[in-house]
Structure 1
Amino acid sequence: MTIQIAKEARKEAITSIERYARENFPEPIGSLEADSLLTFFLEEIGPLVYNKAVTDVQERLQARIMEVDIEVHEAEFQYWRKHDAKRQKR
């Protein structure tokens, strides 16, 4: 699965890559090179980041599901216990 980003986000990413190259490398790169580099990162490294995010979400959802049991659990067969407790109070 190729990760796609919106056109405007892609433009901003390319601009950011160009600036990074200008400030950190001896030779600046143009928008064509920055676009190629972005494509490479999205195809090669993007799935790694995406899969990690999916795993993180799954773990958080699983933890939340475990909490739901605690939050909404109702004890079973409570009628007689409540009934007997009321009788003892009288």
Structure 2
Amino acid sequence: MSDITFSREQTQRMTGKLQDYLRRELDIDIGDFDAEFLLDFFAKELGGYYYNQGMSDALAVIEEKMESVTDALTWLQKPVD
């Protein structure tokens, strides 16, 4: 798996959300650099878990759709003697 990377705009939005959460829930104020550093840690150490779950969810949807296609194609078969 390649490294998880985000655009500068996405990183700024996520660090802002992280800062807001820490301030609101834990009464901790951290600067932009520290928030980005923490976000990088989450991406590096925990991102794979979220990525793999997303892949698993996508695979389940594809399997469901393929089953539906298989059923539709089976229904179209013509009877033979």
Seq. identity, %: 22
CA distance in structure 2 between the partners assigned to 1:33 and 1:41 by the alignment: 12
Name the larger-Rg structure.
1
**What SS does structure 1 have at the residue aligned with 2:36?**
helix
- The aligned counterpart of 1:20 is 21
Deviations 1:8-36 (A, max 9, x none): 11110111111111112233111111001
Following superposition, which runs of at least 4 residues in structure 1 exceed 3 angstroms of deviation?
Answer: none
- The aligned counterpart of 1:49 is 50
How many pairs align? 79
- The aligned counterpart of 1:33 is 34
Q: Could you state the TM-score of these two structures normalised by the residue count of structure 1?
A: 0.77
Q: For structure 2, which runs of at least 5 residues remain unmatched after alignment?
A: none
Q: For structure 1, which runs of at least 5 residues remain unmatched after alignment?
A: 81-90
CA distance in structure 2 between the partners assigned to 1:49 and 1:64 by the alignment: 23
Deviations 1:26-66 (A, max 9, x none): 33111111001100011111110000110111111011101
Task: Measure how far apart 1:77 and its partner are.
Answer: 4.0
CA distance in structure 2 between the partners assigned to 1:75 and 1:21 by the alignment: 60
